[in-house]
Amino acid sequence: MKIVHSLADLRQALTGAQRPAFVPTMGNLHDGHLALVNQARPLGDVTVASIFVNRLQFLPHEDFDSYPRTWEADCAKLESAGCDLLFAPRESDLYPEAQTFKVQPDPALADLLEGAFRPGFFTGVCTVVMKLFSAVYAGRPEGVALFGKKDYQQWRVLHRMVEQFALPITVVAGETCRAPDGLALSSRNGYLSEAERAEAVHLSLALRSLAREALALAHALPERREALEAQALADLRARGWQPDYLTVRRRHDLQVPQAGDALVVLGAARLGSTRLIDNLEI
């Protein structure tokens, strides 16, 4: 696996590539990231991953400084997953000056759920991903980009960004990878204490039971949705969590569902000082 840091070296390393298959990450890689790399390999003529902890998508009180950085282990994992090229820009490579031009995602999709609790998060994500895309794909006829469904809203926002800017990129989603007990793999799971780690699966269990109840309601869901969600929030609070949302939404635009819509349940909740998110398509 070749490792490059500067845009110039990336361009050089990608000479002749026609269809890069690209997995952007912030590092601290787990099996979910590696599954995306495996999924990427047959989709392009070169498999590229990036590692960049993007300051723009962290709020001032969030964990930018303490976000886990595990460079050596990440390189070894990418190498063994068959990644061809790792782009690991320094901040000065990607943001040589203050980033004053930004990509503003559609508020109808990006200002709810994660965007409501982390204002500016999706602007930071879209801006860095647009910069990464322009670094990896510029001058090429096409490309493939892979994002995990664990960050469901992020995948939807980036997919719409690609569609609306008519970028010649196919966005592919990877299924959420889970630990044997059902906890969705996430870099932030490493913040959990032993007791919190044992409790953490209850976010996905809460989503599972919300999904079951939503399905059972079928056509009565629109009238009963808020009551179901309120009960799910209360149940999780009673276990010591501080939930931000547990909600049933329409899959494609994350709006409140009407009868007959394809559904996803999504949740975000804090356990101690760790904020976890998860979702389930139903």
Residue with tokens 């904020």: 275
Q: Is 252 annotated as a binding residue?
A: no
Distance CA 33, CA 26 (A): 10
DSSP 8-state class, residue 88: -
Strand partners, 271: 274
Residue closer to ligand PAF (CB basis): 2 or 30: 30
> Does the footprint of ligand PAF cover residue 129 (CB under 6 A)?
yes
Q: Is 159 annotated as a binding residue?
A: no
**26 in helix, strand or coil?**
coil
* Residue 174 near ligand PAF by CB under 6 A: no
Using the rule CB under 6 A, which residue among 125, 136, 214, 236 binds ligand PAF? 125
When the beta carbons of 25 and 274 are compared against ligand PAF, the nearer one is: 25
279 binds ligand PAF (CB under 6 A): no
255 labeled binding residue: no
CB-nearer residue toward ligand PAF: 117 or 199: 117
Asked if 246 is part of the footprint of ligand PAF (rule: CB under 6 A), the reply reads: no
CA distances 230 to 124, 143, 197, 235, 253, Å, are 31, 42, 25, 9, 22
List helix spans (H) across the chain: 7-13, 31-40, 71-80, 91-94, 107-110, 114-117, 121-137, 152-164, 194-199, 202-217, 221-238
Token couple for 80: 């063994």
Annotated binding residue 38: no
In three-state secondary structure terms, 274 is strand
Evaluate whether 108 touches 253 at the Cβ level (below 8 Å).
yes
User: d(Cα 85, Cα 126) in Å, to the nearest integer?
Assistant: 22
28, 39, 47, 54: which one binds ligand PAF (CB under 6 A): 54
Q: Which is nearer to ligand PAF, 43 or 256 (CB)?
A: 43
The single residue among 26, 162, 183, 269 that binds ligand PAF, judged by CB under 6 A, is 26
Q: Is 24 in the site for ligand PAF (CB under 6 A)?
A: yes
**For ligand PAF, what does the binding mask look like between residues 150 and 169, x meaning CB under 6 A?**
-x--x---------------
Q: Are 86 and 75 in contact (CB under 8 A)?
A: yes
Task: Please say if 159 is a catalytic residue.
Answer: no
Based on CB atoms, which residue is closest to ligand PAF, 55 or 239? 55
Q: Residues 33, 61, 159, 219: which is the catalytic one? A: 33
According to CB under 6 A, which one of 14, 25, 48, 214 is a site residue for ligand PAF?
25
- State CA 200 to chain mean position distance: 19
Residue with tokens 């276990």: 239
Residues of the shown chain interacting with ligand PAF in the complex, contacts defined by CB under 6 A: 24-26, 54, 57, 125, 128-129, 151, 154
Catalytic residues: 33
